[in-house]
Amino acid sequence: TFIHGDVQGGSTITCQLVKLTLLTSDQNFKRKVQEAYLALQLEEQISKEQILEEYLNVIYLGGSSYGVKIAALDYFGKDLDELTLRECATLAAVIRNPYRYNPRRNYYTLDNPQQLIDRTNLVLKEMLSQDLITEEEYQDAVNEELHVLEESMGASDAMYDNAYYVEYAIYDVVTKMLRVENLEDNSTNRSAMQQKLRTGGYSVYTSLDPAVQEAAQKVITEWDGYPNMRYSNDRTSQSSLGGGEYLTLVQPQAAAAVIDWHTGEIVAVVGGRQEPVQKMQLNRAYQMDMPVGSSIKPLSVYGPAFDLGYSPGTPVLNLPIPIVNWHSEKGYPENYGGGGFTGVESMRYALNKSHNTATAQALMTYVGIENSVSYLLRLGVDPDHILANGSGLALGSSGLSVLEMATAFGAIANLGEYQESYAFTKVLNPDGSTYIDISQIQLKRQAFKQSTAWMLVDVLKGCVSSSGTGSRANFGLTIAGKTGTNSNNIGVTFAGMSGYYSAAVWIGSDNYKPLVSSATGGSYAAPLWAQLMKAVHVQTGMTEDREIITKSAASVGLVAGTCCSVSGMAPTSACQHDINGYDTTTDYYLSGTEPTTPCNMHRAVRMCRRSKRRATSSCSSTSVYGVIYIPAGHPLRMAESMSDVREYFAGASTDEDTTSIPRCNVCG
């Protein structure tokens, strides 16, 4: 088949052994060449009988059974030397398709074992034709009634409990094994480590609390508030189980992760609305990296901005004018639903209201693409998940996993210190010695300054207030968090934290299909997050309210400062009498960064109250107002015309001479 370009189909047992123990199952010619070469080398070094024995020790036979010894105990409660001929033939039959021919599934779940009986009889017939058994042995085996254990005596049943958590824990162990062995995390090395873990006799101590995991799964499964899909034919999808069988999945799907942010320990991992029916089903909590929308903004824009010396009170433009280096048809992103332009607003207000235009301005004016990416990496985000452009960083087109989001928001709660999340505490060698101790290898680093984390939590509390986009996330304890709605309602998210845990949820289609147009992170993801967190807190007994960050603002170096609401500089009397009412803003600053240089944008000009233009002798009602001068290099200079700017900044001018301010054309 290789010569004719077909990379599907069967292989020799030697090749299968090589694939199972040394290579990945990727279907490409490079892997086939490697497989063929290693198979030849193996056959030169050991006998065919040894190859077959090794193969039978590692082959997957359904459920959690790897190798015939485990499978014999699992399905029949026997050691290998106690098996009947029919039982042996049954195990051989299972190899073809471990899911379809799983004995327990056929005899009990389906209550229709005929397909397994037929397959087993085919194996027996082949053995007879090759003179491996006699006619009498064949007839006895065909007539034998097979007795399959309804419950396993060895390996766990066809589908173990808490599969989403357990399978992620296995993934996590393999990741740490690669680190300990100083191996690159690629498909070949990962496959080898998986095999080593399965067959090496290690003892793994997970962080799983079954009651908490089950409580989290129950919420995701039974919640009755999921949005509809926009189109009725998208409300279900089919997932292949192999052997021509399919599982019908309800859409939209959901995923969640909960972390003890004090330590990084994973409390719950929920990879879908339905519990898995087969090993290694899609776990959306870490195997999907769907765009997270505005939930990314604290991580990629506002956190970095605060860390670089800006304040929640720093002004940012929110109006429809082009943004430097923003690449789109209009030159700026629209706010959700269109409109919502305010002219200028504080970073605090921009994040509370989730304004896209202001966030894009903040990214490009105060942070920069390179800095933004750097902070996401510090927060543990996979570089492959980062879309390093304006849309990816300011609007959340980047596809972070639910687990990455929960971990990153946990770092904010942990006073800015990132702690790598983990699902197990230790792995012991077969002799009982320690192979991996998570406390010795867990990655930790200060991703944000403590002052930055404090300000972020303070601002994110506003996001879940009655006027914020995430008000429906509240469940009775002090929380902070951020909603996210992906473009065209493809998916919705919420990520946040309490004084105990950080968590993230995602709702969306497996097939990237749109939800109903009313679906937002605030309307659906936030209330699901609330139910999830309430269940977890109740189950763990963490029901007493406590602050997320107990340190005071002063103890992390913050002071109050006041700035001009337009320039961000120290206010003058002209700022306090801004003709547009922008006035001044007081908020937290890292000590030493509060504004001290007087505003250079406001000028005191006598203006007509009626027209908001420069007063003339004909104007009967005038006052001295602060009017904006736009210095060179200011983002407002990007406007195509001054009329676009003056819609939000009456009297604004690019000329230092006040005579350039338009004169009143209403009076006289």
Of 537, 566, 582, which closes a domain? Answer: 537
461 belongs to a structural domain: no
Within this chain, do residues 101 and 196 fall inside the same structural domain, yes or no? no
| pLDDT given for residue 37 in this prediction | 62
Parent domain of 231:
160-292+400-454+484-537
- The yes-or-no verdict on residue 155 having pLDDT over 60 is no
pTM given for the model: 0.82
Per-residue H/E/C for 194-216? HHHHHHCCCEEEECCCHHHHHHH
668 belongs to a structural domain: no
Are 298 and 412 in contact, with CB atoms under 8 Å apart?
yes
Token duo for residue 336: 């959700």
Q: Please name which of 642, 580, 586 lies closest in space to residue 605, comparing C-alpha atoms.
A: 580
380 belongs to a structural domain: yes
Token duo for residue 534: 């309430």
| pLDDT given for residue 337 in this prediction | 79
62 belongs to a structural domain: yes
- The yes-or-no verdict on residue 10 having pLDDT over 50 is no
464 belongs to a structural domain: no
- Among the residue ranges 54-58, 194-198, 306-310, the one predicted with the least confidence is 54-58
Distances (CA, A) of 622 to 308, 549, 658: 42, 49, 16
For residue 170, count other CB atoms closer than 10 A to its CB: 18
466 belongs to a structural domain: no
Of 143, 169, 197, which closes a domain? Answer: 143
| pLDDT given for residue 409 in this prediction | 99
Cα separation, 458 vs 480, in Å, equals 8
- Among the residue ranges 56-65, 208-217, 655-664, the one predicted with the least confidence is 56-65
Give SS3 for 589: strand
| pLDDT given for residue 223 in this prediction | 97
Within this chain, do residues 284 and 426 fall inside the same structural domain, yes or no? yes
Within this chain, do residues 260 and 315 fall inside the same structural domain, yes or no? no
| pLDDT given for residue 80 in this prediction | 92
Average pLDDT over residues 3-20: 50
- pLDDT tens across 481-506, in order? 999 999 889 999 999 999 999 999 99
Within this chain, do residues 372 and 414 fall inside the same structural domain, yes or no? no
Cα separation, 99 vs 241, in Å, equals 7
pLDDT band, very low/low/confident/very high, at 26 (cuts 50, 70, 90): very low
Within this chain, do residues 381 and 414 fall inside the same structural domain, yes or no? no
Cα separation, 360 vs 301, in Å, equals 8
Within this chain, do residues 648 and 587 fall inside the same structural domain, yes or no? yes
Peptide bond into 320 cis (omega under 30): no
Distances (CA, A) of 562 to 51, 350, 582, 635: 76, 18, 13, 22
pLDDT band, very low/low/confident/very high, at 198 (cuts 50, 70, 90): confident
For residue 151, count other CB atoms closer than 10 A to its CB: 10
Cα separation, 144 vs 139, in Å, equals 9
Considering the chain, what percentage of its residues have pLDDT values greater than 70? 92
Token duo for residue 146: 């097979």
Q: Which residues contact 541 (CB under 8 A, 6 or more apart)?
A: none
460 belongs to a structural domain: no
The total of structural domains in the chain comes to 4
Assign residue 35 the CATH number of its domain. Answer: 1.10.3810.10
Higher pLDDT, 158 or 151: 151
Within this chain, do residues 280 and 406 fall inside the same structural domain, yes or no? yes
Cα separation, 591 vs 599, in Å, equals 19
- The yes-or-no verdict on residue 3 having pLDDT over 50 is no
Q: Please name which of 649, 604, 611, 605 lies closest in space to residue 630, comparing C-alpha atoms.
A: 649
Q: 145-154, 537-546, 647-656 — which one is most confidently predicted on average?
A: 537-546
Within this chain, do residues 566 and 438 fall inside the same structural domain, yes or no? no
- The yes-or-no verdict on residue 24 having pLDDT over 50 is no
Rounded-to-5 percentages of helix, strand, coil across the chain: 40, 15, 45
515: DSSP letter? B
- pLDDT tens across 381-402, in order? 999 999 999 999 999 999 999 9
pLDDT band, very low/low/confident/very high, at 51 (cuts 50, 70, 90): confident
pLDDT band, very low/low/confident/very high, at 14 (cuts 50, 70, 90): low
| pLDDT given for residue 159 in this prediction | 67
Give SS3 for 229: strand
Over the chain, what is the mean pLDDT?
90
Q: Strand 236-242 and strand 245-250: pairing? A: antiparallel
pLDDT band, very low/low/confident/very high, at 5 (cuts 50, 70, 90): very low
- The yes-or-no verdict on residue 29 having pLDDT over 50 is no
Higher pLDDT, 2 or 325: 325
- The yes-or-no verdict on residue 471 having pLDDT over 90 is yes
- The yes-or-no verdict on residue 22 having pLDDT over 80 is no
- The yes-or-no verdict on residue 366 having pLDDT over 90 is yes
Q: Please name which of 287, 280, 292, 284 lies closest in space to residue 252, comparing C-alpha atoms.
A: 284
410 belongs to a structural domain: yes
Within this chain, do residues 298 and 288 fall inside the same structural domain, yes or no? no
pLDDT band, very low/low/confident/very high, at 19 (cuts 50, 70, 90): low
Within this chain, do residues 416 and 275 fall inside the same structural domain, yes or no? yes
Average pLDDT over residues 394-423: 98
Q: Please name which of 581, 630, 628, 576 lies closest in space to residue 603, comparing C-alpha atoms.
A: 628
- The yes-or-no verdict on residue 113 having pLDDT over 80 is yes
Within this chain, do residues 113 and 216 fall inside the same structural domain, yes or no? no
pLDDT band, very low/low/confident/very high, at 64 (cuts 50, 70, 90): confident
Please tell me the number of Cα atoms within 13 Å of 495 on its side-chain side: 31
Token duo for residue 220: 């995701």
- pLDDT tens across 211-264, in order? 999 999 999 999 999 999 999 999 998 887 766 677 889 999 999 999 999 999
Within this chain, do residues 513 and 503 fall inside the same structural domain, yes or no? yes
| pLDDT given for residue 1 in this prediction | 25
| pLDDT given for residue 373 in this prediction | 98
Cα separation, 45 vs 47, in Å, equals 7
Which residue spans within 526-596 are E strands per DSSP? Answer: 558-564, 584-590
Cα separation, 81 vs 407, in Å, equals 49
- The yes-or-no verdict on residue 649 having pLDDT over 80 is yes
| Amino acid letter, 217 | Q
Q: Please name which of 258, 155, 220 lies closest in space to residue 533, comparing C-alpha atoms.
A: 258
Please tell me the number of Cα atoms within 13 Å of 105 on its side-chain side: 18
Of 376, 399, 422, which closes a domain? Answer: 399
| pLDDT given for residue 186 in this prediction | 87
E strand or H helix at 495, and its extent? strand 491-497
pLDDT band, very low/low/confident/very high, at 165 (cuts 50, 70, 90): very high
- pLDDT tens across 311-350, in order? 999 999 999 999 999 999 999 999 987 788 999 999 999 9
Q: Which residues contact 240 (CB under 8 A, 6 or more apart)?
A: 246, 247
Assign residue 183 the CATH number of its domain. Answer: 3.40.710.10
